[in-house]
Amino acid sequence: MIIQEEKVEIVEDEKPKALQKAAPNEIQKQEEKPNDIQELNTEKKSTKKGSIYYFLIFIAALLLVLLVIFGVFALYNISHNNVIANGIYVYGVDLSGKTKGEALEAVSKKFDSIQNKDIKLISDKYETAINPTEINLKYDINAAINYAFSIGKSGNLFKDNFEVFNTMVSGTNITPTYSLDEDSLISTLDKFSKEIPNAVVESSYYIENSTLYITKGKEGYIVDSKKTSSDVHSKLKDFSYLSQTIPLSLVKQAPKSIDIEQIYNEVHKEAKDAYYTTNPYAVYPSENGVDFKISLQEAKDKVAKSNSNKEISIALKTIYPKVTTNMLGRKAFPDLLAQFSTNYVNNPARTTNLRLAANKINGTVLLPGETFSYNKVVGARTIAAGYKNAAIYQNGEVVDGLGGGICQISTTLFNAVLFANLNIVELHNHQFVPSYVGAGRDATVVYGAKDFQFKNSRKHAIKIECSVSGGVARFKIYGVKEDTEYDVKVNASIISSTATYIRSSTYRTLYLKGKKVSSERIYSCTYKKH
């Protein structure tokens, strides 16, 4: 048996083949590389430290500059604490460096030119406008200036400096706020609904000759007040209404249905009896009432059956009071204030005219402040009213005329009014001095042309009583004497006379306890001579 021994070669400190093949110098370089890396890292660390150093210097310099700027702005704010900062405007008016007073003056000048400019509105061919005073439009200039003044003055240095810097660079324009009466704006816009073309026509009614006439409405357009109001507000905010016309927003609408019950409530009126009180003294006149001649249900049926556009007519009736003002007895007018009478010739036709006119006036009551019109009370002098032909003045001649003689009634009343110390409103003299009074004491009337009017200028109601009988036309005026009651004297005198004319003046003089208080010229007049 043959045993073969295995040889094992042990090599110590054997280097890699790559190193064995490499040149001695290269091996030396490779062995020296760790030292070079160490040096490179050292250089990088040194450069990084340098960059941080310069960066810190830059930051410090920047902070120093900012600190200087901050300080400058702080000093500027302190030195300009009583004026508005630069770059601030109110509605385009530069307020830089101005005090509040100067700013108010500058802004007010501009607003004075626009404050009352109309707000123009349009709808097709219809144009209208609203004046700012109609809606109480006001721009709050003071608030805008106060806000402008407050910028940069909060007390916080950082905030104030930023605000001042910002306004200097970019500017700040403040638009004043405004206020207006919204109810007035809406009501004004509603008013335009009746003026626009093709406006809706609402049903309406009117009374003529004791008949109620109802007219039916017609479909049309109205102003959309809320929408238009919103448009107006948007234009007021930016002042564009000064250069732009605002369109009226319209909506189509049918007329409201006829409410006969509402019409009845508006037309119907109960009669009121006259009465008076003594403590305090006052006279309450009577009032006639009004009612439908048909029942309310019949009126409703009549409206419901009417399908055409024709007017609907409903007859009315007058409801008379049981006690009229003229029926109030002497107790309501306890004191005789004045009286006057004239004599007349007993001519049947003329006397008839006198009595007709006097009867119309007799019992008339005038409340304080009311005006008496002779033509209105007596009415037209017609044959139907019973007037006769009698002598009148016409074109300088005495001729027969319808109603002749009634000027004697107006003249007699005029003199009673003078002595009652009542105010004369309208007065005319005759062409010739009449036979029943002297010059300056007459009052002529012509229906539709010349009237005699006076006013109850006393504190309480008065009552006129008159009569025509026995050749005397007599007037009395009753009432209540006042705390200060004057004695009245009337003086009418001729101031000049020629071959063809007479001129006179009439005065009323007041006396109190025998002493003259005042003298008033009632009128001056000119008469022709016969």
Cα–Cα distance measured from residue 350 to residue 370, given in angstroms and rounded to the nearest whole number: 30
Which pLDDT tens digit goes with each residue over 397-435?
Answer: 554 556 678 899 999 999 999 999 999 999 999 989 998
Q: Give the whole-number percent of the chain exceeding pLDDT 90.
A: 61
Q: Cis peptide leading into 280, omega within 30 of 0?
A: yes
Cα–Cα distance measured from residue 363 to residue 87, given in angstroms and rounded to the nearest whole number: 82
pLDDT score of 80: 59
Q: What is the DSSP letter of 333?
A: S
CB 312 within 8 A of CB 301: no
Query: How many structural domains is the chain composed of?
Result: 4
Same domain? 75 vs 103: no
Which pLDDT tens digit goes with each residue over 462-480?
Answer: 999 999 999 999 999 999 9
What's this model's pTM, rounded to 2 decimal places?
A: 0.56
**CA nearest 527: which of 505, 503, 496?**
503
**CA nearest 486: which of 508, 454, 462?**
508
- Does the pLDDT at position 211 exceed 80? yes
Cα–Cα distance measured from residue 191 to residue 222, given in angstroms and rounded to the nearest whole number: 9
Cα–Cα distance measured from residue 490 to residue 509, given in angstroms and rounded to the nearest whole number: 6
| Distance separating the N- and C-terminal Cα atoms of the chain | 205
pLDDT score of 310: 84
Give strand pairing partners of 126.
123
Same domain? 391 vs 432: yes
Query: What is the pLDDT averaged over residues 381-391?
Result: 84
Q: Is residue 245 part of a domain?
A: no
CA distances from 390 to 375, 400, 455 (A): 18, 5, 30
Q: Is residue 19 part of a domain?
A: no
Cα–Cα distance measured from residue 458 to residue 6, given in angstroms and rounded to the nearest whole number: 166
pLDDT score of 11: 40
One-letter amino acid of 467: S
- Does the pLDDT at position 16 exceed 80? no
Which pLDDT tens digit goes with each residue over 248-276?
Answer: 999 999 999 999 999 999 999 999 999 99
Q: Is residue 236 part of a domain?
A: no
Q: Which residue has the higher pLDDT, 396 or 70?
A: 70
Three-state SS at 410: helix
Same domain? 264 vs 320: yes
pLDDT score of 303: 92
Which pLDDT tens digit goes with each residue over 480-519?
Answer: 999 899 999 999 999 999 999 999 999 999 999 999 999 9
- Does the pLDDT at position 170 exceed 90? no
Same domain? 472 vs 387: yes
Query: What is the pLDDT averaged over residues 96-115?
Result: 87
Q: What is the DSSP letter of 357?
A: H
Query: What is the pLDDT averaged over residues 379-391?
Result: 85
Cα–Cα distance measured from residue 196 to residue 125, given in angstroms and rounded to the nearest whole number: 9
Most confident of 202-206, 279-283, 345-349: 202-206
Which pLDDT tens digit goes with each residue over 181-204?
Answer: 999 999 999 999 989 999 999 999
Same domain? 292 vs 225: no
One-letter amino acid of 38: Q
CB 482 within 8 A of CB 459: yes
Q: Which two tokens stand for residue 197?
A: 């073309």
Question: Which of these three, 212, 229, 246, is where a domain ends?
Answer: 229
- Does the pLDDT at position 46 exceed 50? yes
Q: Is residue 442 part of a domain?
A: yes
pLDDT score of 289: 96
**CA nearest 136: which of 188, 190, 186, 184?**
184
Same domain? 379 vs 350: yes
Q: Which domain holds residue 198?
A: 88-229
- Does the pLDDT at position 370 exceed 90? yes
pLDDT score of 132: 93
Same domain? 63 vs 96: no
pLDDT score of 529: 86
Most confident of 305-309, 366-370, 385-389, 398-402: 366-370
pLDDT score of 160: 75
Q: What is the DSSP string of 455-466?
A: E--SSS-EEEEE
Same domain? 310 vs 351: no
CB 403 within 8 A of CB 387: yes
Q: Is residue 497 part of a domain?
A: no
Same domain? 169 vs 193: yes
Q: Give the whole-number percent of the chain exceeding pLDDT 70.
A: 85
Which pLDDT tens digit goes with each residue over 214-251?
Answer: 999 999 999 999 999 999 999 999 999 999 999 999 99
Same domain? 103 vs 64: no
- Does the pLDDT at position 33 exceed 60? no
pLDDT score of 67: 67
pLDDT score of 236: 93
Question: Which of these three, 325, 354, 377, is where a domain ends?
Answer: 325
Q: Is residue 27 part of a domain?
A: no
Q: Is residue 525 part of a domain?
A: no
Same domain? 100 vs 161: yes
Q: Is residue 510 part of a domain?
A: no
- Does the pLDDT at position 138 exceed 60? yes
Question: Which of these three, 325, 351, 369, is where a domain ends?
Answer: 325
Question: Is residue 111 packed enough to be buried (19+ CB in 10 Å), middle (13-18) or exposed (0-12)?
Answer: middle
CB 366 within 8 A of CB 376: no
Same domain? 216 vs 301: no
